Each structure stands twice: as C-alpha cells, then as structure tokens.
Amino acid sequence: MVQSSFPWLSLAIFVPIVFGFVTMFLGSDENPGFTRKLAMIGALLGLAVTIPLYTGFDASTADMQFVEKALWIAPLAVHYHLGVDGISLWFVILTAFITVIVIAAGWEVITSRVAQYMGAFLVLSGLMIGVFAALDGLLFYIFFEATLIPMYIIIGVWGGADRVYAAFKFFLYTLLGSLLTLVAFVYLWNVSGGSFDIATWHNVQLGYTPQVLIFLALLMAFAVKVPMWPVHTWLPDAHVQAPTGGSIVLAAIMLKLGAYGFLRFSLPIAPDASQSLSWLMISLSLVAVIYIGLVAIVQSDMKKLVAYSSVAHMGFVTLGFFIFNTAGVEGAIVQMISHGFVSGAMFFCIGVLYDRMHTRNIADYGGVINVMPRFAAFAVLFAMANSGLPATSGFVGEFMVILGAVEYNFWIGLLAATSLILAASYSLWMVKRVFFGEITNDHVRGLSDINTREFAILGVLALATLYMGVYPKPFTDVMHVSVQALLEHIAVSKL
C-alpha cells in the first residue's frame, strides 16, 4: 500500500458532504441564485480534489494508493481506512464528475426546496465516493447503506405522482438485500481474527461451503443494487418517479455500487465459489441482456425504456466479471464507466423533453428534430452510443466483453452479441418515433431548442462519450495491472 502524504480521498468524500449541509442550511428558495452557486462551487471543488488522484496514480502497481488509515472504533478494530487502486479510481472521478452534471441539470428546473435538493445530491456524492474508497469492511457497509437515505429523499420529495411508492420500494429492496451482507461481514471479522480489513479478508483461507454461503449472502445485496434479473423490478419504478437528476445519478453511479462489490468482495474473498457458481451468474446475466432487452422494446414510456436498457447493459457487466479473463473484466469496467456517460446523458435528454412537454410517452412526440435540431443531434448520438456504435464509448466495453465471452465459450459470446441488435432496436426505434418524421402534435411545434446550459451539459457528456470511444487507452491502462492481480488471485486460489 502507498501511504498518502495528503488526504485527497478524505477531501473527495467530505468536501461535497460539507458543502451539501452548508447549502441546506444557508440556501433558501428566497435566494435560489446563491443556493445554486454555492452547490456548484461544492460540486466543482469535489471534482477538483479528485484530479490529483489520477495525475499522481501509479498504473504500474496493483497496490492500494493514496491510503489513509486511522483507528476509529477500537473495541471492534474498525479503521477509517481509505485507498484506491486501478479498479476503483475511475469510479471516484466519475462520481464527482456526474455530481457537477446533476447540479447543472437542476439549475433552472428545480424551484421548490432548492437548497435541500442540491444539498442531498452533494451529500450523496460524498457517500458514494466513500463506497469506492473504503478499505475497511464496516466502513464500506456504512457508506453503502447511507447512500440509500439521500436517494430515498430525492425520489420521495421531488419525484412524480407515485414517488412515495417508488421511494419505499427502492429503499426496502436495497436495504433487505444488504442485511445478509452484514452477517457475512461479521463472519469474516470473526474468522480473520477480529479484523474488518478488506485486504486481510482477501487472504483468509475459507473452505468451499463457507465460500458458497458468503458468496450467496453478498449476492443478495450486490444483485439488487446492480440490479440483476429477477430483482430488478424496483429500478423502472424508481427511474420513472425520480426527478431527472435522481435518474442520472441512479443510472450513472448507484448501479455501479453493486457491480463494484462483486470485484472488491465476492470474487477475491470467495474465489472458488465464484468459479463454481459462475454458470449461475452467466445465466442471470444473459437473461438480463436478452430478455430485458426485449422488454425494453415494448415500452411506451421513454424513461422506462432507458431504465430497462440499463438493466440489460449492466447484464454485460456481470457477464464480463464471471468469465474470468482480462478482456471480460476490463471490458466490464469500461462498460460501467461508459454507461455512466451514456445513460446519464439519455436521462438528461428525456428530462429536457419532459420539462417542455410534461410527458414521457413516446406517442406524444414526433418530428422533434424539425424544431430542436441541436438537441436532436445530441440525442441521436447518445442513442447510437447506447446501441454500441463504434467510435463511441458504448462500443468499447461491449466489444471487449464479447471478445472475452467468445474466448470463454463461443456460444455465450454469441448470445451476448445479440444485445447489440436489441440495443439498436429499442434505442433507434425510440429515436425514430420521437425525433423524425412530420410534426403531428401542436405542442411539439411550439418547442424551443436547448439553451446554453443544456447545450453545455450535453456537449461535455458527448465529448466524454466520443473520447472514450476513440481513445480508451487512458482508461484501460489505469485498471490493467489491478485486474491482472485480481485474476491471478482467483487462479492461484483455485489451484
């Protein structure tokens, strides 16, 4: 581990949290301009303190870097222990980046309880970064569960007509799934000699049966959070009812918390169980990729369509993890980052239309390109990226996972590749009905094109999507050594 001489990770966690609470207490609806600027300063500072993590990162080692460690709860040997490696680094930066996007997205749209809205997202940002940076099991669990609170409030207060139902469903699904994880953590604390150190857990020699039980306990939490089929049903409801910013964060970051849990806990702690149960994970992933893709095609609500699309794309992620080769795992991580850009952009595009028309039904639109040409150009780009078009970030991760799957088993790779056809079907079918053709609705005829703020948000997301699609090397270079070390750990355990 590389000890940090400066607490960059603590700043990445607590700068947005502190600014979140300051915004809640100092901001008000009477002075929304000050409130928004204060929140944006907090989001930009939160992003700024993550930049040294990348510029100072040593990609040649799999060791944890920027490590901070201090005893926190002495009787239980719980430490405030932070650090990042090539697997977690990009998610810390992505979280801070998406937070800036979300604050900007709600700039003019949110007019009620502005301070609480902005503050909740800033607090949520810090908590999610804590999940990716925690190297102590109990600290991870606290951050992991704490993220539920601000998102529950965001959906329940600023959501749609059925927001309370959706918020409760989201909260209960994810909370109940996590309770078995706490049991697994307590067991690991006991067998590791009273340690919550995650690295220590990685090296604990467990029998096959305890590994299977721990894997299944962890699966309950992480599968719900991803979400994997069949525990995905909370996600469409949460997305449909959440405000635009809530949908962006939910898709871009919160779904990644569960996927990250597989990499940090399930695979290294229970490697034998992970390999013996890989058939289960691969099967569930393929169901998500194919069946949920078919479900997305028949949706009439744009948000539901993109929500189901997220489930299908996250199926690619879990598939990549459990084929145990470099292309698969690295492709899955690239897919997670790309999905953050693309799904966040697509939910923002839907929010732009909803703010003007107050409907998400595809049938209520048509011919939008005639009155919103700049917006339509961005929307088509992101739909193409969602379909896996080459030169966009959506292609890179999926192609790597398909290559890894073919290397693992040709037929699994073939089934996974059908997602490219399905993604193109539901994405382009939606684009055709919403944007192209003649204007058939007087409300559409009166629409105005995107303003400077909306153009800037979509422009930044478009640049990120294209840059990663054209030149993914900076992303894969960071993660390569850490992924190799994880796969070697699993392979050695099997021997």
Could you tell me the CA-to-CA distances from 156 to 167, 392, 418 in Å, in that order?
A: 5, 35, 37
Average of pLDDT values for 365-373? Answer: 86
Average of pLDDT values for 247-267? Answer: 88
pLDDT for 76-110, tens place per residue?
878 889 999 989 999 999 999 999 999 998 888 87
Cβ atoms of 243 and 159 within 8 Å: the answer is yes
**Whole-angstrom Cα distance, residue 443 to residue 368?**
10
Taking the mean position of all CA atoms in its chain, how far away is CA 341? 10
Residue 419's pLDDT band (boundaries 50, 70, 90)?
confident
pLDDT for 449-471, tens place per residue?
888 888 999 999 999 999 999 99
Give kind and range of the element (H or E) at residue 71: strand 65-73
Cβ atoms of 62 and 481 within 8 Å: the answer is yes
Residue type, 39: A
- pTM for this predicted structure: 0.90
Judged by phi (left if over 0) then psi (alpha if -120 to 50, else beta), residue 82 lies in beta
The domain limits of the chain are 277-495
What are the tokens at 312?
């299908």
Question: Tokens 């469903």 correspond to what residue?
Answer: 169
The pLDDT of residue 274 is above 60: yes
The pLDDT of residue 493 is above 70: no
The pLDDT of residue 495 is above 70: no
pLDDT for 30-65, tens place per residue?
788 888 899 999 999 999 999 999 988 888 888 888
The pLDDT of residue 249 is above 50: yes
pLDDT at residue 1, rounded to an integer: 53
Q: For residues 20-38, b (16+ Cβ closer than 10 Å) or e, as one string?
A: bebbbeebeeeebeebbeb
Cβ–Cβ contacts within 10 Å for residue 299, how many? 19
Question: Tokens 């979509």 correspond to what residue?
Answer: 458
**Whole-angstrom Cα distance, residue 235 to residue 228?**
10
**Whole-angstrom Cα distance, residue 166 to residue 80?**
34
pLDDT at residue 3, rounded to an integer: 56
| Helical packing angle, 89-105 and 8-26, nearest 10° | 20
The pLDDT of residue 275 is above 90: no
What are the tokens at 139?
């600290």
pLDDT at residue 15, rounded to an integer: 93
pLDDT for 116-140, tens place per residue?
889 999 999 999 999 999 999 889 9
Q: Give percent of the chain above pLDDT 70.
A: 98
Residue 112's pLDDT band (boundaries 50, 70, 90)?
confident
